Amino acid sequence: MDRAPAILLLGVGGAGCSMVARLLPVLPGEVGTLFLDTDERSLPAGAQTLQLGRQQTRGMGTGGEVGSGLAAAESEEAAVRRALAGSHVVVLVTGLGGGTGGGATPFVASCAAEAGATVLCFATMPFSHEGERRQREADQAATALATRCHGFVAVHNDLLLQQVPADAPLPDAFAAADAWVGGAIRGIAAAFAPGALVPADPSALRSLFPTPGSPTLCAFGDGEGQGAAMKAARAASDCPLAHGPGAVTKVASLFVHVAGGPELTSTDAFEAVAAVRTKFGGETATVLCARTDASLAGRVEVSVLGASLPVPRTAAKGRRGQKSGKVDDSQAIFPFATDDAVRRGYFGGAPMTIVEGQDIDVPTYIRKAVRLPAAP
Amino acid sequence: MNSNPLPSLIAVVDIGTAKTVSLVGQMIGGQARMLSFSERRTEGVVKGVVTDLEKLHALVHNVIHDVERGAGRNVEQVYLSLGGPAAEGERVKGLVMVPARDGKVTQKDFVEAVSSARRQEPAAGRTTILYMRQPTMLDGKPVASPVGMTGRRLEVSFWRVTMEDALVRMRVGMINGMSIRVRDFILASHAAACAVAEDADKHGGVLVVDMGAGTTDWILYYKDHILCAGSLPVGGEHLTNDLSVALRVSRETAEDLKCRFGSGVHREGDLNQTIWKDGDRGLGDQQFNRGAITKVLSLRYQETLDLVRKDVLRHLEGIFPGHNVRLDQHMVPSGVILAGGSANLADACEAVQQALGLTARVGVPRFDTESLRKPEYAGVVGLMRAAITDAPPAARRPRGLWDQIKALFRF
């Protein structure tokens, strides 16, 4: 490797690798990719790969054991650090709930942060059908990741399913997930590529995420035809990534990337940015980046990344003799939006009511994955 | 032997998930007159299951005190409604081969068949609450009264409702704590049906769906008798909760929006309507897309109806195994009658038509007092009707042998 890429996209674990592999064809050339997994079968041939834990798992998966995922990553620490050295922005893509995703990703995130990179993490959370244990382990891993990455975005599989019609085939559902996450990553990556009309650099991104553990907002939308820019901005406002459980919808600093065909006018671009700002905030700082791309004729894509400063950890409580020193991590993000409360509402905390294998206290529209009309 | 006549003061108590109501009436010259009525918001019940006994206890006492004050007399015994998924129903059958050479059925044969049905013990830890009579079959043909007819095979069947011992003891203990006797339990869905369904409906076949706040109780009548009954732990609270989760509003706001803008059917036109929470467009007022409201509610409402349909079919399959019975216009010519608070949802009947393919109407209880002529009071009004007319013989656990026979014939 002659020079480390400014942006390194890392797929960690089976889910992460397959998602990055699906994104590979649509990524700009400036983005470096690396696949990390314990299971050698999920590492694509012909790409930069790093197999973890050859001694521990002998080329197999971890079987959902978080401990062995962590051990596998630690055994390859030197190689991981070598691969991460020199990158300005490291984007981790992973699926939580499994062994490698849940165990290795927090370790890799720490390594990347220590190497001086701005670390963003997109983590898919398991489907609610996958059971209590997986959900719990995913929650624990998410908590660990959120404190180590500069920006952490949880992608709720349940919510993504709602974005496709009920009768859509399964590949379409995954394609929709790729479209949101891929669009956001592509937007971030393209922003730093040469040729932007309003360029940005990785240090601008760093200024958005000064410390690890910032509550993060991520959204992506695209639009076509008449008023494409406004359509894209509206789609980004409704993006499910920004409306999942625990997601923040108002942030202090925003990074908005608008990409469109050669016909994109400055009025369109600034209108779109204004619409995004109205929705998401960005009062402290808004980093704007715009570019035209001949391949986007007639289309406009808006990617939004935002962050607030982490909620200051309340030291005063220690004086009153409550919770001295130890702060509940879940409170730092948003106190009410626990998964249980978001999905079950008033019945959150009450015993589940299982009818025909489903918890019928969860709203029907969530279980049937029905997309609701947008708010006016 | 318990053969005292119906006391002139009749008190009924219906404990629901949202509200607890009590009604006291008096038989004056063979006619029932309402003396007093009390309604309070229930506390300590979630999805039809008691979660805080102390609160519920205090509530029931308050409600009974209210009606006693209103009636100016002390209540000595009450009828309690019984519903929710804790009350399980099943069919029990008794069978005798008619011993007489000429095949003539005697009273003794009939009693023998009844006791053979009642000999079947409920599962361990459960108590039988009530028996409700189903058609008597003589050689596979339904007969109203088999005594004196000829045949070989006499079958009697009952719809038996059982409940866990502890739950029954808790309810009885709660009432006994006020020095009041529980005269009898009445199945909540049967009570609702007594208020809203005509005899002609029951004769042809009708499905009564009582969708309360926490539970949905249903009962199916066919040829004048109860064929089966069941309950699901879903109700109007789930509609409210879905809306509060979807729109991210408080439960109170969601309840208000449900009542004002909700519908059992989602229409394309709703998407173009923007509605305001308060309407004054002032500070704190919020706007919503009406399409989102109707979409969320119609999905839950129709899903609940679909669950009812599946539950009915599951019971029917248990009663007529292998017959592949369908819930259609032939089975229930009178269609569906909706009762309970959720029957007030707009387009509820159309939702039934879509979900079950049956005609439907909202059941308004027949009662003197105007304020109680609402679907949500079907339970308590029907409880009173059942207590006055049908219930004592139908629902009382027959104690002695003579009482059993009397009970059967008075149904």
pLDDT in tens, B227-236: 899 999 899 9
Domain A213-307 has CATH 2.60.120.10: no
3-state helix, strand, coil in chain B (%, to 5): 40, 30, 30
Q: How far apart are CA B338 and CA B353, in angstroms?
A: 12
pLDDT exceeds 50 at position A176? yes
* A254 CB within 8 Å of a chain B CB: no
The whole-number pLDDT of residue A4 equals 62
The whole-number pLDDT of residue A274 equals 85
Tell me the CATH number for domain B88-162.
Answer: 3.30.1490.110
Q: Are residues B241 and A363 in contact, defined by beta-carbon separation less than 8 angstroms?
A: yes
* A363 CB within 8 Å of a chain B CB: yes
pLDDT exceeds 60 at position A116? yes
The whole-number pLDDT of residue A82 equals 87
Mutation site, A159, A249, A346, interface B, largest B CB count within 10 A:
A346
Q: Are residues B54 and B44 in contact, defined by beta-carbon separation less than 8 angstroms?
A: yes
Tell me the torsion sign for CA atoms A214, A362, B52, B25: positive
Torsion of CA A266, A272, A273, A277, to 10 degrees: 160
pLDDT exceeds 80 at position B183? yes
CATH class of B9-85+165-196+368-399: alpha beta
Contact B296 A342 (CB under 8 A): no
Q: How far apart are the first and last CA of chain B?
A: 19
Beta pairing class for B136-138 and B141-143: antiparallel
Angle formed at CA A84 by CA A78 and CA A85, multiple of 5 degrees? 90
E strands within chain A?
Answer: 7-12, 31-37, 49-51, 89-95, 118-125, 151-156, 216-224, 251-260, 281-292, 299-307, 354-355, 358-359
Strand partners, B208: B219, B337
Q: Are residues B171 and B80 in contact, defined by beta-carbon separation less than 8 angstroms?
A: yes
**Lowest mean pLDDT, pick from B41-50, B130-139, B210-219, B383-392:** B383-392
A7-149: what fold? Rossmann fold (3.40.50)
* A226 CB within 8 Å of a chain B CB: no
Contact B241 A361 (CB under 8 A): yes
Q: How far apart are CA B89 and CA A149, in angstroms?
A: 56
CA distances from A110 to A92, A104, A113, A213, B51 (A): 11, 10, 5, 12, 46
pLDDT tens readout for residues A228-274: 888 888 888 888 777 766 677 778 788 888 888 888 888 888 888 88
Average pLDDT on B17-45 reads 84
Q: How far apart are CA B184 and CA B173, in angstroms?
A: 13
* Mean pLDDT, chain B, integer: 85
Average pLDDT on A312-341 reads 46
Q: Is B256 exposed, middle or buried (0-12, 13-18, 19+ CB in 10 A)?
A: middle
User: What are the boundaries of each domain within chain A?
Assistant: 7-149, 213-307, 338-376
Q: What pTM does this model have?
A: 0.59
Interface size between A and B, measured as CB pairs under 8 A: 75
CA distances from B65 to A97, A141, B69 (A): 55, 55, 6
Q: How far apart are CA A104 and CA A11, in angstroms?
A: 11
Q: Are residues A119 and A37 in contact, defined by beta-carbon separation less than 8 angstroms?
A: no
Q: pLDDT confidence of B400, banded at 50, 70, 90?
A: low
**HEC profile of B228-250:** EEEEECCCHHHHHHHHHHHHCCC
pLDDT tens readout for residues A138-158: 888 888 888 888 888 888 877
Question: Which of A347, A364, A372 is the closest to B303 by Cβ?
Answer: A364
Q: Which residue has the tokens 């992506």?
A: A220
Contact B307 A360 (CB under 8 A): yes
Q: How far apart are CA A282 and CA A254, in angstroms?
A: 5
* A45 CB within 8 Å of a chain B CB: no
Q: Which residue has the tokens 């004048």?
A: B224
More confident residue, A75 or B306: B306
> Closest Cα partner for B338 from B365, B320, B317, B357?
B365
